[in-house]
Amino acid sequence: MELLTDISEHTRTNYTRFIDNHLAPWFGELSASDRGDRITRDHVSRWILDLQDGKPGPLHPPGTERRKYAAKTIANLQGLLYSILQSAVDADPSLRDSNPCAHTKLPKGNDTEDDEVFLEPEEFALLREHVRADAVDIIDVLMSTGLRWGEVTALQPRDFTLVSKRPTLRV
């Protein structure tokens, strides 16, 4: 983790936490290399099923309770594991021949997970009417662009071009 050069300190902290909480309890005694007791596709599949079912890993303390994880969360965690194991494949010299995450099937989200919910015009008017005056602009941007909260709150003045025939917003 300390050798990654293209991530922020915040991301590094999150990755470390994800590894400690979601990878080490399943893979802590296994090798990322092809030597010894190595991580296999079966290990990865069992881990995904455990995350999906809310089961603790083999290295969790007895009695540990876990919650079931959504398909999106599992995909994010699998992406981190994939990157770690791909680094072992890409190492010079290579530490393993292939990435056991490469052909792993991930769970699909349930239908309600990705359903979009839209406000009716009356609901939007009611919301806009009841926010503080200094928050009306941000509500208008959220509603008129479809951007997510994190995208809107990350905007900076340089992202706006207001002096043109067609004002633009760069996300």
What domain range includes position 19? 9-90
C-alpha 82/C-alpha 84 separation (Å) is 6
Q: Is the peptide bond before 62 cis (omega within 30 degrees of 0)?
A: no
Residue 119 CB coordination number (10 Å): 12
pTM above 0.75, yes or no: no
Does the residue 42 lie in any domain? yes
Does the residue 95 lie in any domain? no
Does the residue 114 lie in any domain? no
Q: What is the pLDDT of residues 33-64, one digit of tens each?
A: 998 899 999 999 999 999 999 999 999 999 99
Does the residue 25 lie in any domain? yes
Residue 130 has pLDDT above 80, yes or no: yes
Domain boundary (71, 90, 109) is at 90
- Mean pLDDT of all residues belonging to the chain: 90
Could you please report the per-residue DSSP string of 123-141? HHHHHHHHS-GGGHHHHHH
Domain boundary (90, 107, 141) is at 90
Mean pLDDT confidence for 143-155: 87
Strands 168-169 and 160-161: antiparallel
Does the residue 96 lie in any domain? no
Residue 135 has pLDDT above 80, yes or no: yes
Does the residue 97 lie in any domain? no
User: Does 126 lie in the same domain as 86?
Assistant: no
Domain boundary (69, 90, 111) is at 90
Mean pLDDT confidence for 138-165: 88
Least confident stretch, 12-21, 30-39, 155-164: 155-164
Residue 144 has pLDDT above 90, yes or no: no
How many distinct structural domains can be found in the chain?
A: 2
User: Does 142 lie in the same domain as 78?
Assistant: no
Does the residue 16 lie in any domain? yes
Does the residue 1 lie in any domain? no
